């Protein structure tokens, strides 16, 4: 049995990783198994028809990030056939969110391609072993998590009632929405996953499943075509590397923006010489968030060359120029390390969900093309095949004799949650659990007015921003999951108390 530590979205997913470890799976296999389970058993929060990034750093190798992000659809279509088939909905979730759903909001999904590429290059267990726990859970039924029930309370009727199979999966016979803990059975999903386990990702991108997905979207005036699916490829990229407190951190590179923003936030705070978060240190933290998120909004989100714009941001932070110059979607994550010194971090998203479930598949599709606050270019976001923006930043850090895998869900709070955890753990030397649970701040640039949102218990500085203080830790501020292996100290693992989570460690 492989010795691994796992931090993920649910205990069911952590148990899936342990099951794969018992048949000899390494950190990558276990991360993929847990990610597959949580992606397919968190209805509303995530789904297989979305996007994923996977950062892997094996002992003795260079780190890699596998880009399975969604892409702009529409290959083979005329211009006047694109930009159709959406419905605008406004939910009270998160204080009010407007998004586009329907077939026209669906971007080319990349999650499965990324998982298969990671397994082909870095896995050790069999493909069927990785899928087995998820297939069993979907065939037997699984409990609806509290996070899913909370989100579905806002989005159920507006988004996820759009398909007959989706409606049946989430409601009692009398039409009432399932409660937290009730058993979910998604029609046809176990059969679809079995076909993928038997035939590989090919059946999803070029086989019968691909045809059903594309034909469903085109039938609703969406732009996703069979050609989009058959030509999609996950891409192996060189991660961004940043030094933090004696560690080297590998995180998601451009064209995703999350890793660049996270790296810049960390570099802007690299010279903090503190033992705790006092008001002076928090002022620097808030200034770093504000500068980086402001730069992102003004320069990164609409950049023609995201790599060049990201490099400008990082170099400004590295050179100490950032704070003087620019001061003016739901996700799931899994982190796994093993005692061979390998680390794997997987973050996946399907946006707010399109509500579309092609008949007979059990697969909900993403609405990433319709995420207005993230995809600011709109439905015509570029030529078909171009990757959409992403906040996701799965990361692996390493120093002599130790490896850390970490990431977080939380939309635009992903980078700020990780920034604070990494400073807490890598720079301030807090114990892992304390570093995760420590109260956080977030500079919210999503609306017309910049706001500072904070959790109770911090020695806040005077700021020129409206402040919203939450009386306790809340899931708004992300859900960091981290696993570490140290040759001297062994394993440590932690899941965020702000969200439901599952962990497994041989030292627990």
pLDDT tens column, 17-41: 999 999 999 999 999 999 999 999 9
When comparing pLDDT for 204 and 271, which is higher? 204
Distances (CA, A) of 127 to 321, 328, 348: 48, 50, 19
| Over residues 153-157, mean pLDDT | 90
Residue 350: name the closest of 109, 36, 142, 73 by CA: 109
Residue 296: name the closest of 251, 252, 262 by CA: 262
- pLDDT for 412: 78
* Residues 92, 238: Cα–Cα separation, whole Å: 39
| Helix (H), strand (E), coil (C) string for 208-274 | HHHHHHHHHHHHCCCCCCHHHHHHCCCEEECCEEEEECCEEEEECCCCCCHHHHHHHHHHHCCCCCC
Q: Which two tokens stand for residue 369?
A: 């093309």
Residues 6+ apart with CB under 8 A from 286: 441, 443, 452, 461, 463
| Over residues 231-255, mean pLDDT | 95
Asked if omega into 255 is within 30° of 0 (cis), the reply is: yes
pTM: 0.94
- pLDDT for 324: 46
pLDDT tens column, 209-224: 999 999 999 999 999 9
């Amino acid at each position: 049995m492989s010795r691994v530590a796992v931090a993920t979205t649910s205990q069911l997913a952590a148990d899936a990783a342990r099951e794969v470890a018992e048949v000899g799976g390494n950190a990558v296999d276990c991360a993929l198994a847990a990610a597959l389970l949580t992606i397919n058993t968190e209805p509303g929060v995530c789904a297989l028809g979305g996007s994923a990034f996977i950062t892997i750093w094996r002992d003795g190798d260079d780190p890699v990030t596998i880009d399975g992000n969604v892409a702009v659809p529409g290959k083979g279509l005329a211009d006047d056939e694109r930009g159709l088939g959406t419905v605008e909905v406004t939910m009270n979730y998160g204080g009010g969110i407007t998004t586009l759903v329907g077939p026209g909001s669906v971007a080319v999904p990349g999650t499965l391609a990324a998982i298969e590429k990671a397994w082909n290059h870095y896995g050790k267990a069999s493909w069927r072993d990785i899928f087995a726990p998820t297939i069993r859970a979907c065939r037997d039924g699984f409990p609806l998590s509290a996070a899913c029930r909370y989100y579905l309370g806002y989005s159920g009727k507006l988004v996820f009632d759009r398909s007959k199979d989706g409606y049946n999966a989430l409601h009692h016979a009398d039409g009432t929405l399932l409660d937290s803990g009730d058993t979910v059975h998604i029609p046809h999903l176990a059969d679809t996953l079995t076909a993928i386990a038997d035939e590989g990702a090919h059946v999803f991108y070029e086989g019968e499943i691909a045809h059903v997905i594309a034909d469903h979207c085109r039938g609703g005036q969406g732009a996703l075509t069979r050609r989009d699916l058959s030509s999609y490829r996950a891409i192996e990229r060189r991660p961004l590397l940043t030094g933090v407190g004696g560690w080297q951190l590998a995180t998601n590179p451009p064209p995703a923006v999350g890793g660049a923003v996270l790296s810049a936030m960390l570099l802007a705070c690299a010279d903090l010489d503190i033992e705790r978060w006092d008001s002076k240190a928090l002022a620097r933290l808030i200034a770093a968030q504000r500068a980086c998120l402001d730069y992102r909004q003004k320069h990164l989100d609409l950049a023609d060359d995201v790599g060049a714009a990201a490099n400008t941001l990082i170099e400004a932070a590295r050179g100490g120029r950032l704070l003087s110059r620019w001061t003016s979607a739901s996700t799931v994550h899994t982190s796994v390390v093993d005692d061979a010194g390998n680390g794997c971090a997987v973050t996946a998203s399907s946006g707010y969900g399109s509500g579309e479930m092609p008949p007979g598949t059990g697969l909900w599709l993403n609405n990433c093309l319709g995420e207005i606050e993230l995809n600011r270019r709109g439905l015509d976001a570029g030529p078909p095949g171009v990757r959409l923006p992403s906040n996701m930043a799965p990361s692996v850090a390493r120093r002599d004799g130790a490896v850390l895998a970490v990431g977080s869900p939380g939309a635009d709070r992903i980078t700020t949650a990780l920034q604070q955890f990494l400073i807490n753990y890598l720079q301030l030397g807090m114990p892992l659990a304390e570093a995760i649970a420590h109260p956080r701040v977030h500079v919210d640039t999503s609306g017309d007015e910049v706001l500072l949102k904070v959790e109770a218990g911090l020695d806040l500085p005077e700021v020129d921003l409206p402040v919203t203080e939450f009386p306790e830790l809340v899931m708004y501020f992300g859900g960091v999951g981290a696993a570490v292996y140290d040759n001297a100290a062994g394993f440590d693992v932690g899941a965020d108390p702000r969200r439901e989570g599952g962990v497994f460690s041989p030292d627990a």
